[in-house]
Amino acid sequence: MEPASHSFEELLDFTLKRMEAMKKEGVRWVSVNPDWLSPLEPANYHSPVQEREKSDSTSPSAPPTPRSREVPPLSGLQKPALKTGERKIDSSGPETANPTSSRNQLAAPKAKTKPLDLQKLSDQELNAGMDRLRAEALQCQKCPHLAESRRNVVFGVGNINADLMFVGEAPGMDEDLQGEPFVGKAGQLLTKIIEAMGLSREEVYIGNALKCRPDTPGQAYGNRKPTPDEIANCLPFIEKQVELIRPKALVALGASAVEALYGEKVYITRIRGQRRDYRGIPLMPTFHPSYLLRNSSHAVKRLVWEDMLEVMEILGMPISEKQQGYFKK
Ligand code: SF4
């Protein structure tokens, strides 16, 4: 057996054994670094055998490998069927979902696409509309399991007249406790990013696609990705917030935020930095700050910063030489 194949199988065996052990210990959710799973995306994954075939096919004499053979079933990664009483470990997190799994397909209703009237509302209309929406969210029970487990509905925070609005995924533990989005470590990093842009947290608006913390029964800590049903239930709130605020630019933090707003499956590593249009508003997809906490290389920080520089351009903000040079080395 060739060394590459040997180490792959050993690693796979070790991973499966470890997950089985965790499952027996009652763990239901594990978070996985998106970068580790990126090679397993159907478009990227090649078994060791296929990797060899691919490299063979690059030799002048080898015939080209048909595209269909580059997307194998992940049969080697499938876990044995669960026995009665065993609980499923869900490894889905940002970008970790298998796009062919029905659990990870976004459920109807689809996101709104109709262009918005971007003329700002009067203060009176805006305040009344936001108050009504907040009151509705605070008593929302559309996801009974989340309504039961939440400590607070995390509606949103900031300037409802803002030109810039950030949309994240869902509240975590700190946010659930304080009732405010992005107050944990990732939130502190987001605040630094906002300040590096020359703005304050109070000048922008920050909200999440999901207003209640995704529950993790049996676990005091840890986060999980919202399910498509939860996102579908909650989507009208963030849509309405955008409709009321009518910002000049949106920043979607992480894959889940983009998926919620557009109703489509995305991989943030592929689409970040590519300016989009959300109902007439320029939208910049970028990495979630929690990804930056796990991948704090200058290169990744620079990517996010370049996204923010583009947002500043969209907003017509002045950009200093110092700002231009952040994270360039
Ligand atoms: S997550 Fe959204 S839709 Fe679900 S209960 Fe909370 S506020 Fe309601």
> SS3 for 303?
helix
Pocket test of ligand 1: the residue of 141, 146, 239 to mutate, having most ligand atoms within 8 Å of its CB, is 146
What is the Å distance from ligand 1's center to 237 Cα? 9
| Beta strand 276-278 pairing with 157-158 | unpaired
Give the pocket of ligand 1 (CB within 6 Å). 137, 140-143, 146-147, 153, 210-212, 230, 233-234
Measured between its terminal Cα atoms, the distance across the chain in Å is: 43
Residue nearest to atom 4 of ligand 1 (CA): 143
Closest CA to 299 of 269, 275, 321, 278: 269
One pLDDT digit (tens) per residue for the chain, 329 residues: 333 444 555 666 666 667 777 766 666 666 555 445 544 444 443 433 333 334 334 333 333 333 333 323 333 333 333 333 333 333 333 333 333 333 344 544 578 999 999 999 999 999 999 999 999 999 999 999 999 999 999 999 999 999 999 999 999 999 999 999 999 999 999 999 999 999 999 999 999 999 999 998 877 677 899 999 999 999 999 999 999 999 999 999 999 999 999 999 999 999 999 999 999 999 999 999 999 999 989 999 999 999 999 999 999 999 999 999 999 87
How many other C-beta atoms can be found within 10 angstroms of the C-beta atom of residue 228? 20
Measuring from atom 2 of ligand 1, which residue has the nearest CA?
A: 234
Sign of CA dihedral 187, 119, 110, 241: positive
Instruction: Return the closest-CA partner of residue 312 out of 265, 275, 260.
Output: 275
**Structural domains present in the chain:** 3-70+77-91 (no CATH), 123-325 (3.40.470.10)
The Cα 62–Cα 74 span in angstroms is 26
Mutational test site, ligand 1, from 150, 233, 240, max ligand atoms within 8 Å of CB? 233
**Given 3-state DSSP classes, what are the helix, strand and coil percentages for the chain, each rounded to the nearest 5?**
45, 10, 45
